[in-house]
Structure 1
Amino acid sequence: MVQLLNSYISLVIERVTMTDEQLVKECVSGSQSAQKKFYDLFAKKMMGVCLRYTNNYEEAQDVLQDGFIKVFNKLPDFESKGSLEGWVRRIMVNTALDAYRKAKKYQKDVDVDSVGFMLDSKDFIVESINADDLLKIIRAIPEGYRVVFNMFAIEGYSHKEIAEQLGVTESTSKSQYSRAKKMLRKILIEKNFVEESERGH
């Protein structure tokens, strides 16, 4: 009886501590339980990614669904050399960008020159802002600016990579990012997350 219990405990521990490589292998082999575990593991985080690139929850759900279809189709190609979450995230971002490009032509020149605020990177580490509020603030800026801001400040793309992905020049990417920072700074001040006296010069 004790031996049976120990065997059961060992099995549970093995399932809990399954590595990313093992999980991918089981998903590729067609295990539905592994695929469900994979989805449950990443769905919430990836939904957050999709929400930042879309205009509403329904659009984000569509991107998430399309993204996971691509993820499962590409799983056999995952080489376990880097982070599995990072790999899934990159596919989700690319799926969101595909949806964005299909939806509308990239926004270029919106007159926000009258917004005289500069946003320093430190302003995004504001303890009083929870994840939901930060998401709402980011989604409050025009879609074109939001996409560039997400790619550069959050996903870590270079302006050269952004330009290639969106079919614009590097200078346009930099301009969009600068204007996004100004608009976000303005919103942060309006919502009293940042003091107006802290504005950059």
Structure 2
Amino acid sequence: MEELQLIEGCKKHDRRSQQIVYQRYARVMYGICLRYSSDADSAQDLLHDGFIKVFAHIPSYEGKGSFEGWMKRVFINLALETIRKDKIKKQYSEDIENLSDIDEIRDDSEDDTAKISETELMKMIQELPQGYRSVFNLYAIEEYSHKEISEALGIAEGTSRSQYIRARLLLQEKVKAYLKRQ
């Protein structure tokens, strides 16, 4: 079934269309949920809630941009709402500048980083405290600016920068510890 037909079917609450959309996109959306959740059960709950929200708000999808991109936005926003509702965030007021991206996590470890699978790195990210994990995902993976993160999470830009740098440092420690065990 073509994507436009599926979207129209979902707008009409057609269960078959919804099932196909779920089967087509669940894996990708679960990856997003996993990045913002502390464990697989929480990620599964977020996935379920996310698809409910997608199907409830699909009439607002206007066909501008990719449907998958629109869905990702819905899931990310839901994850952020969940974080805000649960009030699981720590605030720090340091203002740290000149941050770099996720590749630096691997720079210090030279060629040994090839030993770290994406799954293992994802597990390390999941082990970060909730506030660090959220900021890290939004900045390093979703490519939000610190200003956008501060608005989305209701924190100061300096807090966003601080939590990002702390997340990077924790990940660097985890990578080094992992490589020593290998």
User: Which residue pairs with 1:78 in the alignment?
Assistant: 61
* Partner AA of 2:146 in structure 1: H
Q: Does the alignment pair 1:97 with 2:84?
A: no
* Partner AA of 1:62 in structure 2: D
Q: Does the alignment pair 1:69 with 2:52?
A: yes
Q: Percent identity?
A: 42
User: Which residue pairs with 1:45 in the alignment?
Assistant: 28
- Which of 84, 106, 126 is 1:139 aligned to? 126
Q: How does 1:146-157 map to 2 (within 5 A)?
A: 146-157=133-144
* Partner AA of 1:66 in structure 2: D
- String of CA shifts for 1:53-95, please: whole Å, max 9, x gaps: 1112221121111111110011111111111111111111111
Conserved 8 A contact 2:37-2:43: yes
Distance 1:94 1:39 in 2: 18
- Which of 149, 159, 180 is 1:172 aligned to? 159
Q: Are the structure 2 counterparts of residues 119 and 184 from structure 1 closer, same or farther at C-alpha, using a change threshold of 3 Å? A: farther
Conserved 8 A contact 1:119-1:184: no
Distance 2:105 2:65 in 1: 27
User: Which residue pairs with 2:102 in the alignment?
Assistant: 121
User: Which residue pairs with 2:177 in the alignment?
Assistant: 190
Q: Are the structure 2 counterparts of residues 162 and 119 from structure 1 closer, same or farther at C-alpha, using a change threshold of 3 Å? A: closer
Deviation at 1:150, TM superposition (A): 0.5
Conserved 8 A contact 2:84-2:153: yes
Gaps in structure 1 of 5+ consecutive residues? 1-14, 111-117, 194-201
User: Which residue pairs with 1:27 in the alignment?
Assistant: 10
- String of CA shifts for 1:20-72, please: whole Å, max 9, x gaps: 22221122123221110000111111111111111122211211111111100
Distance 2:146 2:50 in 1: 24
Q: Are the structure 2 counterparts of residues 81 and 104 from structure 1 closer, same or farther at C-alpha, using a change threshold of 3 Å? A: same
* Partner AA of 2:72 in structure 1: R
Distance 2:4 2:169 in 1: 43
Deviation at 1:123, TM superposition (A): 4.1
RMSD over aligned Cα atoms: 2.2
Distance 1:147 1:166 in 2: 9
Q: Are the structure 2 counterparts of residues 54 and 22 from structure 1 closer, same or farther at C-alpha, using a change threshold of 3 Å? A: same
Conserved 8 A contact 1:119-1:182: no
Gaps in structure 2 of 5+ consecutive residues? 94-98, 107-112
Conserved 8 A contact 1:119-1:181: no
* Partner AA of 1:55 in structure 2: S
- Greater shift in the superposed pair: 53-62 or 64-73: 53-62
- Over alpha carbons, which structure has the higher Rg? 1
